[in-house]
Amino acid sequence: MAQQEPFERISVSQAEAKRQAGVTLIDTRELDEYADGHAAGAPLMPHMSIMTRADELEQIAGGKDQPIMFICAKGQRSAVACEFAAALGFSDLYNVEGGTEAWIEAGLPTETPE
Protein backbone atom coordinates (compact mmCIF):
# COMPACT_ATOMS: atom_id res chain seq x y z
CA MET A 1 0.00 0.00 0.00
CA ALA A 2 1.37 3.41 -0.97
CA GLN A 3 2.18 5.80 1.82
CA GLN A 4 -0.13 8.80 1.89
CA GLU A 5 1.39 12.24 1.34
CA PRO A 6 1.54 14.42 4.48
CA PHE A 7 -0.11 17.28 2.59
CA GLU A 8 -3.16 18.09 0.48
CA ARG A 9 -2.88 19.09 -3.18
CA ILE A 10 -4.99 22.16 -4.00
CA SER A 11 -5.68 24.26 -7.09
CA VAL A 12 -4.57 27.87 -7.47
CA SER A 13 -8.17 29.04 -7.02
CA GLN A 14 -8.45 27.07 -3.76
CA ALA A 15 -5.11 28.56 -2.68
CA GLU A 16 -6.27 32.10 -3.44
CA ALA A 17 -9.43 31.57 -1.36
CA LYS A 18 -7.30 30.30 1.53
CA ARG A 19 -4.82 33.18 1.10
CA GLN A 20 -7.66 35.69 1.30
CA ALA A 21 -8.84 33.93 4.48
CA GLY A 22 -5.41 34.53 6.01
CA VAL A 23 -3.65 31.21 5.37
CA THR A 24 0.13 31.55 4.97
CA LEU A 25 1.47 31.09 1.43
CA ILE A 26 5.22 30.46 1.05
CA ASP A 27 7.09 30.71 -2.29
CA THR A 28 9.69 27.93 -2.45
CA ARG A 29 11.45 28.96 -5.66
CA GLU A 30 14.87 30.62 -5.95
CA LEU A 31 15.47 34.37 -5.56
CA ASP A 32 15.79 35.13 -9.28
CA GLU A 33 12.46 33.39 -10.01
CA TYR A 34 10.80 35.16 -7.09
CA ALA A 35 12.10 38.54 -8.27
CA ASP A 36 10.36 38.02 -11.64
CA GLY A 37 7.00 38.00 -9.83
CA HIS A 38 5.24 35.93 -7.21
CA ALA A 39 1.85 35.33 -5.63
CA ALA A 40 0.84 38.41 -3.66
CA GLY A 41 1.93 38.34 -0.04
CA ALA A 42 4.05 35.17 -0.33
CA PRO A 43 7.44 35.43 1.36
CA LEU A 44 10.39 33.63 -0.22
CA MET A 45 11.75 30.48 1.45
CA PRO A 46 13.56 28.27 -1.11
CA HIS A 47 12.60 24.62 -0.64
CA MET A 48 16.11 23.47 0.24
CA SER A 49 16.24 25.98 3.13
CA ILE A 50 13.05 24.75 4.85
CA MET A 51 14.84 22.25 7.13
CA THR A 52 17.14 24.96 8.52
CA ARG A 53 14.42 27.59 8.90
CA ALA A 54 11.87 25.72 11.04
CA ASP A 55 11.66 28.47 13.67
CA GLU A 56 11.12 31.15 11.00
CA LEU A 57 8.48 29.02 9.28
CA GLU A 58 6.68 28.47 12.60
CA GLN A 59 6.76 32.21 13.30
CA ILE A 60 5.42 33.13 9.84
CA ALA A 61 2.61 30.57 10.10
CA GLY A 62 1.75 31.34 13.71
CA GLY A 63 2.47 27.81 14.96
CA LYS A 64 3.17 24.28 13.78
CA ASP A 65 -0.55 23.46 13.85
CA GLN A 66 -1.49 26.36 11.56
CA PRO A 67 -2.16 25.81 7.84
CA ILE A 68 0.66 26.56 5.40
CA MET A 69 0.53 26.51 1.61
CA PHE A 70 3.66 26.11 -0.48
CA ILE A 71 3.98 27.25 -4.09
CA CYS A 72 6.86 26.96 -6.58
CA ALA A 73 7.00 27.20 -10.38
CA LYS A 74 4.92 24.13 -11.22
CA GLY A 75 4.34 22.13 -8.02
CA GLN A 76 7.34 19.82 -7.59
CA ARG A 77 9.59 21.85 -5.27
CA SER A 78 6.61 22.94 -3.20
CA ALA A 79 5.68 19.27 -2.72
CA VAL A 80 9.22 18.66 -1.41
CA ALA A 81 8.80 21.69 0.89
CA CYS A 82 5.59 20.13 2.23
CA GLU A 83 7.48 16.89 2.94
CA PHE A 84 10.24 18.82 4.75
CA ALA A 85 7.69 20.81 6.80
CA ALA A 86 5.90 17.59 7.75
CA ALA A 87 9.23 16.13 8.91
CA LEU A 88 9.64 19.22 11.12
CA GLY A 89 6.28 18.61 12.78
CA PHE A 90 3.99 20.90 10.77
CA SER A 91 0.67 19.19 10.21
CA ASP A 92 -1.73 21.29 8.10
CA LEU A 93 0.08 21.49 4.75
CA TYR A 94 -1.02 22.28 1.20
CA ASN A 95 0.79 22.06 -2.13
CA VAL A 96 -0.41 24.49 -4.80
CA GLU A 97 -0.71 22.39 -7.95
CA GLY A 98 0.49 24.06 -11.14
CA GLY A 99 2.50 26.55 -9.11
CA THR A 100 3.19 30.16 -9.96
CA GLU A 101 2.74 29.48 -13.68
CA ALA A 102 -0.88 28.38 -13.09
CA TRP A 103 -1.36 31.23 -10.59
CA ILE A 104 -0.38 33.83 -13.21
CA GLU A 105 -2.37 32.09 -15.97
CA ALA A 106 -5.45 32.25 -13.71
CA GLY A 107 -4.98 36.01 -13.35
CA LEU A 108 -4.53 35.82 -9.58
CA PRO A 109 -2.79 38.67 -7.71
CA THR A 110 0.98 38.89 -8.08
CA GLU A 111 3.68 41.31 -7.02
CA THR A 112 7.34 41.96 -7.69
CA PRO A 113 9.89 43.11 -5.11
CA GLU A 114 10.74 46.83 -5.07
In a domain, 38, yes or no: yes
In a domain, 1, yes or no: no
In a domain, 82, yes or no: yes
Q: What is the mean pLDDT of the chain?
A: 95
In a domain, 62, yes or no: yes
pTM as predicted: 0.95
Domain interval for residue 16: 8-108
Specify burial of residue 112 (Cβ count, 10 A radius: 0-12, 13-18, 19+): exposed
Q: Does the annotation count 82 as an active-site position? A: no
In a domain, 54, yes or no: yes
Averaged pLDDT, 13-27: 97
In a domain, 34, yes or no: yes
Query: pLDDT tens digit string along 79-108?
Result: 999 999 999 999 999 999 999 999 999 999
**Is residue 2's pLDDT more than 60?**
no
**Residue 113's pLDDT is what?**
73
The catalytic residue among 15, 26, 68, 72 is: 72
Identify the CATH number of the domain in which residue 75 sits.
Answer: 3.40.250.10
String of DSSP letters for the chain: -PPPPSSEEE-HHHHHHHHHTT-EEEE-S-HHHHHT-EETT--B--GGGGGG-HHHHHHHHTSTTS-EEEE-SSSHHHHHHHHHHHHTT--SEEEETTHHHHHHHTT--EE---
Number of domains the chain is built from:
1
In a domain, 114, yes or no: no
Query: pLDDT tens digit string along 49-81?
Result: 999 999 999 999 999 999 999 999 999 999 999
